[in-house]
Structure 1
Amino acid sequence: MLGLFEAFSTKCLQLQQAVSAGHDELVRALDRELDPLIGIILSYKAQNAYEMHMQMQFLAALIREDADDPSSVLRHSAAMSMLIDRYFADSTMQAEDARPAIVETRVKQQVYPDMLFSEVVLDLLPDRVVVITTDCRFLYANKRYSKYFNRTPLSLIGSSISELVGSEYFEMKIKPRLDRCFEGESLDYTHEPWGQGERMARYRMTPLRCADHRIAGAIVVMQDLHEA
């Protein structure tokens, strides 16, 4: 499933670059390729709670992206209803239409109470906020973080951190701290500028825990010090 998100992220980035360059024909071509890819992502049957949450996050991001288009919102809302029916239907449903082979109560415990953050609230924060999975991919990025890298929240879901900041910098500066966070440590440190235009920032990393106390990822909050 990660391959699908990576493909979508790549298409979004290509589309953004084509729009910036004024290549109208390429924009139309890339735009036509997105809908089938979205359909493939939403038709995929998640095999575990992690994949299911990725799908839900992806669709929620689509709804936010197209908030100004009522027809798109209705279409995405219908897709959300489809996902809910697929994964949380009564056990009386036929096997081919039932949710993945995950105990329903466990899914609810792992996905909804675990993600102790509200996307609406996080999008309003002045800080940059991301949620990172244990394989160092974006599960969530608020609008401020996405704008900082000239991306959209939707295009970041499922992509790896190293793709965004470069593998060398990721391995040297980010991964060691994330590994400590994934071991259960909360970190609070000052981040030094790593490139042109980068600002001094305070980074706070907090483990994201499941109901069974298993660590599912990390919540990272970045505060520009000149704005503190």
Structure 2
Amino acid sequence: MLSALIQKFDKLGNELLLAVRRGDEDEINRVDAQLQPLTRRIFEFEASDYNEIMAQIAFFNRLAMKNCEDDSSVRRYTAMMSTLFVRYLEPKDGPKPVAAKRELPPLFEGYDPSLQELVLDSLEERVAAFDLDYRYIYCNQRNAEFHNKRPSDFIGKHLLDMIDQKRFLTRAKPRIDQCFGGARISYTYEAADAHGRLFEINCRMTPLTGPDQAIAGAVLILNMQPMFARTA
């Protein structure tokens, strides 16, 4: 079912592109009127297995990357990814159902972020999540600020895009791989933020699992204690 919805979206997307190239306003309006409710159906879809979860998250990651020059679109799609991430992270026997009486946010520019995202962004800790390819699927505001970036700058990016190769190979990757194997990891290290301020950082890694308990990635929670300013 999800695959069929995504295929239909891609087909309509191609039709929209052709209509734009022809300058056919009537066709553009016709196709665009179908795309928004279809996007909502894909968002509301309740994945039943690991593959569907990854396909659903990847769909909105693709939209965020495709619209990377439009900040409002990136915010919208990354907020939707965040909601999916929290939905499937919760330890349930199956995917978390959407409450019948819950009013879902409409698809328009600048809509309010999900409650889950607000909660994660209000934490003092930095929070990030990676898929099995070491690519970001979530980044909270605190983690983005540490790097002097926006949360949307991280989505779909490889960890190597944020840290140097030596740190990735010697410190991050071995521990993340252990986490992918089911281990819960905790370790402490020192690092400077984008402004040169030095912190002692405790990093806790937890496997990210889907409803079928298959490991889909890793969740990182980083608690920071300031040390002293880096000298030139």
With normalisation by structure 2, the TM-score equals 0.52
CA spacing shift, 1:221–1:186, aligned 2, 3 Å: same
Which of 89, 98, 121 is the matching residue for 1:115? 89
Structure 2, unaligned runs of 5 or more: 1-34, 43-50, 91-114, 228-232
Supply the distance in 2 between the matched residues of 1:198 and 1:222 (Cα, whole angstroms): 14
CA shift for structure 1 position 143: 0.6
Q: Which amino acid aligns with 1:53?
A: I
Counterparts of residues 116-155 of structure 1 (less than 5 Å) = 116=90, 118-155=116-153
CA spacing shift, 1:185–1:135, aligned 2, 3 Å: same
What is residue 220 of structure 1 aligned with on the other side? 220
**1:198-224 Cα shifts (integer Å, max 9, x gaps):** 411111101111111100011100011
**1:29-88 Cα shifts (integer Å, max 9, x gaps):** xxxxxxxxxx9xx8xx9x9531321333676899xx64xxxxx79xx69xx8xxxxxxxx
The count of aligned residue pairs is 144
Q: Which amino acid aligns with 2:175?
A: R
Q: Which amino acid aligns with 1:56?
A: F
What is residue 210 of structure 1 aligned with on the other side? 210
Task: Report runs of 4+ in structure 1 exceeding 6 Å deviation.
Answer: 58-62
**1:84-125 Cα shifts (integer Å, max 9, x gaps):** xxxxxxxxxxxxxxxxxxxxxxxxxx9774233932211111
**Larger gyration radius, structure 1 or structure 2:** 2
Q: Check conservation: 1:200, 1:225, Cα contact below 8 A.
A: yes
With normalisation by structure 1, the TM-score equals 0.53
What is residue 184 of structure 2 aligned with on the other side? 186
| Secondary structure of 1:136 counterpart | coil
Structure 2 residue 52 is matched with structure 1 residue 54: no
Computed over aligned residues only, the root mean square deviation of the Cα atoms, in angstroms, reads 3.6
**1:137-156 Cα shifts (integer Å, max 9, x gaps):** 10000011111111111111
| Secondary structure of 1:114 counterpart | helix
| Secondary structure of 2:88 counterpart | coil
